[in-house]
Amino acid sequence: MTDRPALTVVTDDPTPPYEQLRRQLIELVRFGVLAPGDRLPPLRQLAADLGLAVGTVARTYRELELAGIVVTRRGGGTRVAAAPPFQPDPAEALREHATAFVREARLLGAEDDQIVSAIARALGR
């Protein structure tokens, strides 16, 4: 992956680092930033770049491989699968983002009415 996009891990985010990284990589593949055949950074390199344990990055790659998003070949590294299993479903993506927002809002201590109010404000209502 040359000129690769910046991947980040927010240490004070309640979402585990492997999950933050997994979500970012999925989005990069989903939106075509990473194309089929593109190589992901080696485990040790990405772990060092992000200040993570190698096992954390390995878990991310393992979960992406189980989902069919990447393939790993000994000596060939980890690459985006030839046909990642994405079906453009905006409704599903919206549900995923809404679920993540509600989970994070609840971790902040927000009540349901505050969450609904925040969404209404974001919609400009």
**pLDDT tops 50 at residue 2:** no
Show the domain range for 23: 17-80
The number of beta carbons lying within 10 Å of the beta carbon of residue 55 is 12
Pairing label, strands 70-73, 77-80: antiparallel
Overall average pLDDT of the 68-86 stretch: 87
Six-digit token string for 26:
């999925």
pLDDT tens for 8-35 read 999 888 899 999 999 999 999 988 899 9
110 contacts: CB under 8 Å, gap ≥ 6: 118
What percent of the chain is predicted at pLDDT more than 90? Answer: 58
Q: Is the pTM of this model over 0.85?
A: no
Say if residue 71 is in the same domain as residue 95.
Answer: no
Using a 10 angstrom Cβ sphere, with 0-12 exposed, 13-18 middle and 19 or more buried, the burial of residue 109 is: exposed
CATH of residue 76? 1.10.10.10
Q: What is the pLDDT of residue 3?
A: 58
Q: How far apart are the C-alpha atoms of 17 and 63, rounded to whole Å?
A: 13
pLDDT over threshold 80, residue 89: no
Q: Do 76 and 22 reside in the same domain of the chain?
A: yes
96 or 49: which carries more pLDDT confidence?
49
Q: What is the arithmetic mean of pLDDT over 87-113? A: 82
State whether 65 and 95 are in the same domain.
no
